[in-house]
Amino acid sequence: MELVVFGAGSLGSLIGGLLAREHDVTLVAREAHARAVNESGLRLEGAVADSPERVFPAATTDGTGLEADLALVTVKSFDTAAAAERLATGTFDGVLSLQNGMGNEATLAARLEAPVLAGTATYGAVLREPGVVDCTGVGEVVLGARAGGPSALAVRLGEAFAAAGLETTVAEDMPRRLWEKLAVNAGINPVTALTAIENGAVLEDPADGLSRAAVRETARVARACDVPLSNREARSAMEAVAEATATNTSSMRQDVLAERRTEIDAINGHVVDRAAALGLEVPTNRTLTTLVRTWERGRDVR
Ligand code: KPL
């Protein structure tokens, strides 16, 4: 299968690198990373291989006019519209969003003719340097039709992902899965970013109360949106990811450490916006959102 990974940062490089074990992959990446991959391949380190492994995807900085069976979108949520404009100049049988936050699939679908699938990924990844990606936790990719229900394209992609050794589930309840992942990110990402702790520490005193409250509020908003996600299910999902990635640096903490804009708007900010539209109070998500936005404004990265 021919695949394009649009947005080869940490997660995109890891997933793209794993897919390149089995498929023809092109990474759309920043200049230094694309140059390193084209010159020496992509080095995969950490939990996905017994010893570091080199794979050889193609890499480019230009995401226009590309052709492939699938475009995998892994850009930050605030770059989704710009990515869609460039993807619209290419030809794909399908597009899969593997991004954090809510609303990415709708942004893509509004601009693209190809069918858009939804996905979530809980692999931990850190781009150590151009051409080197470290898997800091083996997770899972879940993908399926964005409105739920069966999808032949999702089954085809699921088989392609599994053939490359990725832990993959094809799901028919993607709206619920997306809200569950949103709850996981709402509980882990801003708390780790604001307090400089690793993911596992959100389960310990004194951070645990804050994380669990953010998760509980997110599940409540999901239910108000007719998505059946109980507090217990959301909390177990967050605890499972925090345990499985206990020593990891969340993507939002990586953004804060690198003084980059975060995905707060599409994560806790989305919970706050949906709650406001429904007349619900989500004080923990509101406070976390305000704190991270204040940090962003202070660094001039908004
Ligand atoms: O999605 C994540 C992220 O870091 O953005 C995980 C590691 C799953 C939870 O924080």
Q: How far is ligand 1, taken at its centre, from the CA of residue 225, in Å? A: 23
User: In the predicted model, what is the mean pLDDT of residues 140-160?
Assistant: 97
Helix (H, G, I), strand (E, B) or coil at 96: strand
Active-site option among 33, 181, 212, 270: 181
Query: Which percentage of the chain shows pLDDT scores above 90?
Result: 96
User: In the predicted model, what is the mean pLDDT of residues 103-112?
Assistant: 97
pLDDT higher than 90, residue 284: yes
Which of 123, 145, 171 terminates a domain? The answer is 171
Same domain, 131 and 216: no
Q: How far is ligand 1, taken at its centre, from the CA of residue 245, in Å? A: 8
Which of 141, 171, 201 terminates a domain? The answer is 171
Same domain, 124 and 184: no
| From 100, 198, 243, 264, mutation site for ligand 1 pocket: most ligand atoms within 8 A of C-beta | 100
Same domain, 87 and 155: yes
Vertex 66, ends 162 and 60: CA angle to 5°? 85
Can you give the pLDDT at residue 276? 98
Please indicate whether residue 80, judged by its CB atom, sits closer than 6 Å to ligand 1.
Answer: no
Q: Which has more confidence, 124 or 12?
A: 12
pTM over 0.80: yes
pLDDT higher than 90, residue 57: yes
pLDDT higher than 90, residue 48: no
Q: How many domains does the chain have?
A: 2
Q: Whose CA is nearest to atom 10 of ligand 1?
A: 250
Same domain, 143 and 235: no
181 is catalytic: yes
User: In the predicted model, what is the mean pLDDT of residues 230-246?
Assistant: 96
Task: State the chain's mean pLDDT as an integer.
Answer: 97
Same domain, 212 and 243: yes
Q: How far is ligand 1, taken at its centre, from the CA of residue 89, in Å? A: 31
User: In the predicted model, what is the mean pLDDT of residues 156-171?
Assistant: 97
Model pLDDT for residues 78-94, shown as the tens digit of each residue: 999 999 999 999 999 99
Can you give the pLDDT at residue 49? 80
Check: CB of residue 96 under 8 Å from CB of residue 30: no
| From 185, 255, 260, mutation site for ligand 1 pocket: most ligand atoms within 8 A of C-beta | 185
Which of 171, 190, 224 terminates a domain? The answer is 171
Same domain, 111 and 188: no
Please indicate whether residue 10, judged by its CB atom, sits closer than 6 Å to ligand 1.
Answer: no
Model pLDDT for residues 179-196, shown as the tens digit of each residue: 999 999 999 999 999 999
In what order do the strands lie in the sheet containing 132-137? 53-55, 42-46, 132-137, 124-129
Same domain, 8 and 153: yes
Same domain, 26 and 150: yes
Q: How far is ligand 1, taken at its centre, from the CA of residue 197, in Å? A: 13
Same domain, 144 and 162: yes
Question: pLDDT band at 121, cuts 50/70/90?
Answer: very high
Same domain, 182 and 212: yes
Tokens matching residue 183: 């709850």
Q: How far is ligand 1, taken at its centre, from the CA of residue 18, in Å? A: 18
Here the CATH number for the domain that contains residue 280 is 1.10.1040.10
pLDDT higher than 90, residue 44: yes
Nearest atom within ligand 1 for CA of residue 122? 8
Nearest to 9 by CA among 28, 22, 37: 28
Across 47-56, 64-73, 150-159, least confident range: 47-56
Question: pLDDT band at 50, cuts 50/70/90?
Answer: confident
82: containing domain: 2-171
Nearest atom within ligand 1 for CA of residue 192? 10
Query: Which percentage of the chain shows pLDDT scores above 70?
Result: 100
pLDDT higher than 90, residue 302: no
Same domain, 127 and 202: no
Here the CATH number for the domain that contains residue 165 is 3.40.50.720
The label of the residue with tokens 């993507």 reads 251
Please indicate whether residue 188, judged by its CB atom, sits closer than 6 Å to ligand 1.
Answer: yes
Check: CB of residue 24 under 8 Å from CB of residue 1: yes
Same domain, 148 and 219: no
Q: Whose CA is nearest to atom 8 of ligand 1?
A: 122
